Amino acid sequence: MFVDRLLATLVHLRHATTHDVLACWFGVDRSTIIRAIAEVRPLLAERGCTISPAVRLQTLAEVIDHLGTDGKTGIIDGTEIRVRRPAAGRKDRDEFISGKNKQNAVKTMVVTDGDGRVLFCSPTKPGRCADITHARQLGLVRLLADGPAMEILADAGYQGLGVQTGGRVITPTHRKFKKNAPNWYEEMYDASARNTPRGGSVSSTASPT
């Protein structure tokens, strides 16, 4: 079916999934996947759905440099992919149970620019790993704290990275402190705002008041 060929191609382009894995998922031969991708990619390109040939970023450090150099806003988010439950007896079996969706999954962190172009997709981690923990393990805090002035938009799963990166990561206000925020919380965001590379960005999106 064309829908299957299209889906296989999109998964391959989006997650860099290998032909062997896709063949296993769809229950076909590897050669069928290769042929399907070769047929569908030109159709997507004709309709403007293509990967820009000008950007080839291999590591998270290169992505941060790219965004900082071009003065672009980045967006990070964790995405989960449901997987079959690991075999009984495997020591880390329970690590794959996602606390968010209560299902067996693997998680990856995706970085895009403000136009929605995917710049980086991390190696997978078991579903139990929190988004913020995964980001720290990938070295995002170090890269941003020591890197160029820029801003990264993130959801509530990354609260806490703003202060650790000098205001470069911008997240929503913690729901516990939307009203009557304690002094330490206000001081934390005041310090973050002073270090923000673009004036007013933190106070407009992550103000405790």
Domain boundaries, the chain: 2-46, 60-205
Residue 176 burial by Cβ neighbours in a 10 Å radius (0-12, 13-18, 19+): exposed
pTM higher than 0.85: no
d(CA 109, CA 126): 12
Do residues 158 and 169 make contact, with C-beta atoms less than 8 angstroms apart? yes
Q: Give per-residue pLDDT as tens, 131-189.
A: 899 999 999 999 988 777 889 999 988 988 888 888 889 888 765 555 555 554 555 55
